[in-house]
Structure 1
């Protein structure tokens, strides 16, 4: 059963209907094969891009959809209800464009942003390093100024779309001044010296390639630096607030997909002469799952509306990421329980949903980091 939504306009309701139609026809028939084989669904992203679904929160003047975050996140949730891998990819692509949009010059935006938002180019985001995940200020990847260029050396871990993206938003150290010594760069994928290590062998999200990106004397012109030297970490952290809302929406979509599967199975499966959904013990489990999904949706939408209103939303973004991803883990675990022994097999998708939910509590800042962000904000 699709999520019940109260959209702000008829246009946005039509957008959700379009999104549902596209993912049902172009993505749903392929998801099982994509996840089983680990193939990267590049053509799916092109399809979404041509439909305008990769650029929804960006202005129309650059080729974006001109939609509010309230609307964009609900479209993203619809994608993730069918495929968490693709949902994560759409969120990461939006995040990879964020630095250019917010910190780039008018000339930089006019030159690169329309092509990035068209969907023909897919983006990736390089912040974390093997020793500096939750502590990005400890990064070691370095960019050294050499005349009118920078030379980058180092490695960036856990890069979604690593080796598959067309461009990378990269944070690199330009001085030894801690968090104030980091700068932001937009690096084309075909730049000499930029390579991808072997893809990570992950627990879930098999259709989302993750790899360490290696920078060996990667030379890029000064014009590809976004903002001034030393502004990289603020650019990154500002983007993460929006990225956390993206992951909150993806996690909610994943939970909705698990709930839908569990309800369908519970209506069909018979025990003791009636459908198992009619047994109170199982019905209450499904009721709790539905409550978790709808409360998660309300939480991320409340944060999105604050962002759309121009208010500070960092704490609310962390709360949304925490609540939505924890709820997704609980809902997908319960979905496996509803299926019983069948849920523990790969004959049904719920075991995959459960594996996919785990990483939602980890990336875009672990849920322990979210609690830290929330607590610090409360202490101010």
Structure 2
């Protein structure tokens, strides 16, 4: 098998066609291009990785669903991918069998592997006579998304939006009882609305939208109150969720909502934060920028609304895909056409509360405005998210 031909795999497992075949071919072509360049630049014989379905690198480089321990290699000389799986009828560790297959092909010298290749897999490769060197080629390949990957992120992001809107609906219907927010209980009486209850509401909506909360839902009350205490009117409540969609890709969304807010500083902070997203979008429309440059632009835009160096402002920009945070993630990584990134901005209102917003942006061709993926209203008002 060479290039994007996914119907057969040399020397073993046959990759069945599935609903992800087309996208799998595109991903494999991307991986082939980046890995081949790394092998040529470092005069190496092959690239090898091993792991389970929990490893995003394995899921990315295998165009079929992975359910068992799997070892995958790219033979740079033959221009061919090889796969060995624990599900195969052959006995032995997949990495051991793959190492033997590479040696039988006459390959020798250096093998490139991801830095986090399992220790036992590394030992099998060394026992077969290869020297190992680490590469981030696969992570770099994953930094540019195919159309199918972008839609998979958008699917997860729509589920995130469903969760945030459910929370907004709960907050919009809440009443104030003894200084705290309450919702109607099954017996008709008021029931305290706690962060845990609101988090459960978000997770239920995420599941209802076909995604998995993945333990990434957080509700941060805008006060120093105990986490089990009722949420309070007038406090900024930060809602964050990063669900995993059915294809294994993540979304990432954060909103800050206030019930019966009185404006003031929270309003000014909110305006600065929301405007920073518009500024970053314009910046990336003009051309490719580094993570550091976009983070700096987000902060500068917030500060332009009258905030001093002493005012706490936090910005984070990172790719999103098979992991909640992936390439581009380091300061020097570039954000350009084909990247999908999460922009996260937070600014302090007072000692106990923040205004925080996070959205996912897909960067298309240079000169075109990047797309926000399934982004609900950024308003502080819960009712605004229900329109």
Tell me if TM exceeds 0.5.
no
The higher relative CO (CA closer than 8 Å, separation ≥ 6) is in 1
| Structure index of larger Rg | 2
Answer 1 or 2: which has greater strand percent. Answer: 2
TM-score, reference length from structure 2: 0.28
TM-score, reference length from structure 1: 0.29
